[in-house]
A = this chain, B = another copy of it.
């Protein structure tokens, strides 16, 4: 029961962009290096988060990524719910379950997922990058520039 790699990368991008006040823009190449992540996968998740209006992306030389909103705008439950896309603990169709539509377990699992998201919604990106995380992120930003 893990978040998808897509969600995982999305969260890492949001956390990295939480550090503000830089002169130079943050690029995908830089995020890829800092998190040892696939550039290809990052492009996809950044594009998706741009479509959600979560990121501002500017193209070309001097372009880069930035958060579109203040940190406390990104409620973790709502954010992860969108990044995950499929929010069901069990796939009743694989293999096709003969109890589909008459299964109490499914409604119990759905209720537990809601409990998980409710708990996550008590926090925002601001909490996720509270000390010492924010400081660790700031250190990453100070590493040698990625060209």
Size bracket, chain A contacts: 35 or more
Indicate whether A99 sits within 8 Å of B4 (C-beta atoms), given known contacts A108-B123, A130-B104.
Answer: no
Residue of chain B at shortest CB distance from A91: B2
Interface residues of A in 82-124 (CB under 8 A from B): 84, 86-91, 94-99, 102-105, 108-109, 111-113, 115-120, 123
B133 with A108: CB separation less than 8 A: no
Partner of A119, one of B86, B87, B94, B112: B112
Partner of A87, one of B1, B12, B117: B1
* Copy total for this chain: 2
Q: Is A71 an interface residue (CB 8 A)?
A: no
A35 CA / B90 CA spacing, docked (Å): 14
B residues near A135, Cβ cutoff 8 Å: 102
